[in-house]
Structure 1
Amino acid sequence: MRFIDLRSDTVTMPTDAMREAMYKAEVGDDVYGDDPTVSKLEAYAAALLGKESALFVPSGTFGNQLALFTHCKRGNEVILSDDSHIVMHEVGGASVIAGVQLRTLPTKKGEMNPREVASKIRGEDIHYPSTGLICLENAHSNGRVISLENMAEIYGIAKNHGIPVHLDGARVFNAATYLNIDVKEITKYCDSIMCCLSKGLCAPVGSILAGSKDFIDKARKGRKLMGGGLRQSGFLAAAGLVALQDMIHRLKEDHENALLLGRELSKIPGIKVEMDDIHLNMVFFDMQDTGYDSDQLVDEFFNRGIKINSAEDGIMRFVTNYWVSEEDVRHVVKTMKELLSA
């Protein structure tokens, strides 16, 4: 049975072109620096993101945690939003790996208030930790794109205080697609960036960490310490190259399918869709007024060939991706209507 999988865009399978590229990849030992496919991917990614250098890492969480580990000294404080992926979904890794303290700020739809950021930067005092890093996230994991104005203001504050900025850009190409700009218009407001090659870009494994040459040279050693020296990783990097070269320009289709899904779900009595929050390929909605249990919905959908996650804090999330067509979206909506009216 073929499943329509709306749990996340992390569930995407590699395309035929990726499988072919992986099969034919020329590889070497990347820890020694002689895997030509990894080197090609890193150079391509650095240029694409507007940074001096880049590093292939196993995952997005790995890339974010490596950035904290590289930028910061143990005991530093990191300013970031309380709803960011680093805080919410990275298993408290910042305290274990980098040994840093997280100073979290509330957001308005994912955007931190620049004045609040400025007020939380530590002054010189024997009792205070030093502010070592500010982290932003764009696109945000709430499905929204953060404005360039917000990023620019926070980046300017950071520069005035000599503090680096790291961008969790797991879906930065989705953000650039939404804003209809070159991705470098986003990444110019950060000193380092992590972006995922999997998720909507369909590579099976891997992310990119990019920044200055000095930063990446230091991060490369940190990657080895963290167990990320993957030897003949060119087989994986080959798929990553296809992701960056071929898959970015079709993300608009996923966004359009998400908008269609949101519009159609919003027509169903009892379902409240946050239409203003559909910037990317994510649809968040509240179906509590239908009286239908979300865990039961997971089971019923699965029995009908559709994979979804249950509600988190009362909110459901459906995520479109390369393997979810417009026809699939309409089938999901039809199935939802049938179950709620039964």
Structure 2
Amino acid sequence: VLTDAYTPAVASDDPLHGGAVHREGARNDYAAVALGVAPAELAAEADSVTFCLSKGLSAPVGSLVCGSAEFVQRARRMRKMVGGGMRQAGVIAAAGIVALETMVDRLAEDHEHAQLLARGLAQLPGIRIDPAEVQSNIVVFGVDDGVAFQRRLRDAGVLTTAFGPARVRMVPHYGISRGDIEEALERVRHVVEAAA
């Protein structure tokens, strides 16, 4: 997680060139929860920011771009030039509004589930993870063969992502309960025991 000091440091890094600072915030809300700050604080020193309404906030689709009126107007023009416009997007916008108004407060639950998952994984032989290093809802752990382990987990009904040759990624999110985490840990334990 990039700290709230990161963007101001970037913004002041090269004042001679006068470049704009953009903060890509696909996971901005998760970072804000992890750091215990408001999402706006993370973007305060940026000239523009984008953030995703579907990651964590659980809208079916959508992202927002924020900045000065001039920047947003230019972004809209560019979007139209490359064919990125949508018609009748009000239904999608409504889902985004609901996500912003109702889903932000529940993001901490995903972090708690990630910690539960990380602590459980740390107890299993052959899995390398330090739960203290899990800062948000992304749990990455080491194994000898990430691709093969991911395949065995998939066969056991646990969906993960091979994250390089010797790492696997798991990401608790909305719709994943504490019971689901416990069930996943039990299935991972069976996979580990079967491979021993």
- Shared fold per TM-score greater than 0.5: yes
In the alignment, does 2:2 pair up with 1:146? yes
- Listed one character per residue, the Cα deviations across residues 14-60 of structure 1 (whole Å, up to 9, x for unaligned) are xxxxxxxxxxxxxxxxxxxxxxxxxxxxxxxxxxxxxxxxxxxxxxx
Residue 292 (structure 1) shift: 9.1
> What is the 5 A alignment of 1:26-37?
none
Pick from 88, 96, 100 the counterpart of residue 240 of structure 1.
96
Residue 287 (structure 1) shift: 1.6
Pick from 63, 67, 77 the counterpart of residue 221 of structure 1.
77
- Call closer, same or farther: CA 1:183–1:292 in 2, change over 3 Å: closer
- Call closer, same or farther: CA 1:240–1:159 in 2, change over 3 Å: farther
**Does the CA contact (< 8 Å) of 1:158 and 1:164 recur in 2?**
no
Q: Matched residue pairs, number?
A: 194
Pick from 281, 294, 302 the counterpart of residue 149 of structure 2.
294
Residue 147 (structure 1) shift: 1.8
In the alignment, does 2:191 pair up with 1:334? no
Q: Which residue of 2 aligns with 1:176?
A: 32
Residue 295 (structure 1) shift: 4.5
Residue 158 (structure 1) shift: 4.0
| Separation in 2, partners of 1:296, 1:169 | 31
Residue 277 (structure 1) shift: 3.1
- Listed one character per residue, the Cα deviations across residues 163-191 of structure 1 (whole Å, up to 9, x for unaligned) are 10111100111111111111121111211
Residue 198 (structure 1) shift: 0.3
Q: Which residue of 2 aligns with 1:273?
A: 129
- Call closer, same or farther: CA 1:308–1:212 in 2, change over 3 Å: same
User: Structure 1 vs Structure 2: percent identity of aligned residues?
Assistant: 37
| Separation in 2, partners of 1:313, 1:251 | 30
**Partner SS state of residue 156, structure 1:** helix
| Separation in 2, partners of 1:254, 1:168 | 21
Q: Which residue of 2 aligns with 1:202?
A: 58
**Does the CA contact (< 8 Å) of 1:294 and 1:311 recur in 2?**
no
| Separation in 1, partners of 2:147, 2:61 | 36
Partner AA of 1:216 in structure 2 = V
Q: Which residue of 2 aligns with 1:313?
A: 165
**Does the CA contact (< 8 Å) of 1:298 and 1:309 recur in 2?**
no
Q: Which residue of 1 aligns with 2:107?
A: 251
**Does the CA contact (< 8 Å) of 1:158 and 1:165 recur in 2?**
no
| Separation in 2, partners of 1:276, 1:263 | 9
Structure 1's unaligned 5+ residue stretches are 1-144
Moved more, 246-255 or 171-180: 171-180
**Partner SS state of residue 307, structure 1:** coil
Residue 153 (structure 1) shift: 1.6
Larger gyration radius, structure 1 or structure 2: 1
| Separation in 2, partners of 1:292, 1:320 | 20
- Listed one character per residue, the Cα deviations across residues 231-288 of structure 1 (whole Å, up to 9, x for unaligned) are 1001111110011111011100000000110010010011001434311111000121
Partner AA of 1:288 in structure 2 = D
| Separation in 2, partners of 1:245, 1:204 | 15
| Separation in 1, partners of 2:52, 2:147 | 35
| Separation in 2, partners of 1:163, 1:217 | 19
Residue 160 (structure 1) shift: 4.6
**Does the CA contact (< 8 Å) of 1:169 and 1:193 recur in 2?**
yes
- Say which structure, 1 or 2, has more relative contact order (CA 8 Å, 6+ apart): 1
- Call closer, same or farther: CA 1:217–1:158 in 2, change over 3 Å: farther
| Separation in 2, partners of 1:157, 1:169 | 20
Residue 208 (structure 1) shift: 0.4
Q: Which residue of 2 aligns with 1:42?
A: none
RMSD across aligned positions (CA): 1.8
